[in-house]
Amino acid sequence: MLKKMLILAAVTIAGVVLMLTSAGCGLPDDAAASVEGVIITKDDVQHRIDITAVLFPTEVPEDRESQEFIDYRNNVTKQLVSEEMEKQEAEKRGIVVTSDEIEESLTIYIEDKYFGNVEKMEEAFAEQGISVDDLRAEIERDLRHQKLLDSVHEETTITDEEVAAFYEENKGKYIYPEKRQVRQIVVADEAAAQAALARVAAGEEFADVAGEISRDGATASKGGLVGLVSKEQLPADVGQVAFSLGRDEISQPFQSGPSWYVIKVEIITPPSNKTLDDLKDELSFYMRNQKFAQRWKDYSAELWETYDIKYAEGYEPSPPETATATTNKPGAPVAN
Q: Single out the residue of 37, 26, 70 nearest to residue 317, CA to CA.
A: 70
Q: Single out the residue of 181, 193, 186 nearest to residue 217, CA to CA.
A: 186
DSSP 8-state class, residue 326: P
Give CA–CA dist 38/330, Å, rounded.
26
CATH of 2-158+281-311, one of 1.10.1370.40, 1.10.4030.10, 3.30.420.240, 1.10.645.10: 1.10.4030.10
Beta bridge mates, 261? 186, 254
Give CA–CA dist 121/143, Å, rounded.
21
Q: What is the CA radius of gyration of the chain?
A: 32
Q: Single out the residue of 84, 67, 70 nearest to residue 33, CA to CA.
A: 84
Q: What is the pLDDT of residue 333?
A: 35
Q: What is the pLDDT of residue 201?
A: 97
Q: What is the pLDDT of residue 13?
A: 34
Question: pTM to 2 decimals?
Answer: 0.61
Tell the burial category of 330 from Cβ atoms under 10 Å away from its Cβ (0-12, 13-18, 19+). Answer: buried
Instruction: Write the DSSP string, 240-302.
Output: HHHTTS-TT-BPPPEEETTEEEEEEEEEEE--EE--HHHHHHHHHHHHHHHHHHHHHHHHHHH
Average pLDDT by stretches of 10, the chain with 336 residues: 39 37 68 97 94 85 93 95 96 97 95 90 85 92 96 96 96 92 98 98 97 96 97 96 98 97 97 93 96 95 95 86 36 35
Cβ-contact 79, 51 below 8 angstroms: no
Which part of the chain has CATH 1.10.4030.10?
A: 2-158+281-311
Beta bridge mates, 34? 39, 310
Q: Domain 178-270, what architecture? A: Roll (3.10)
CA 171, 172, 173, 177 torsion: positive or negative? positive
Any idea what the Cα angle at residue 68 is, between residues 53 and 126, rounded to 5°? 10
Which part of the chain has CATH 3.10.50.40?
A: 178-270
Q: What is the pLDDT of residue 4?
A: 41
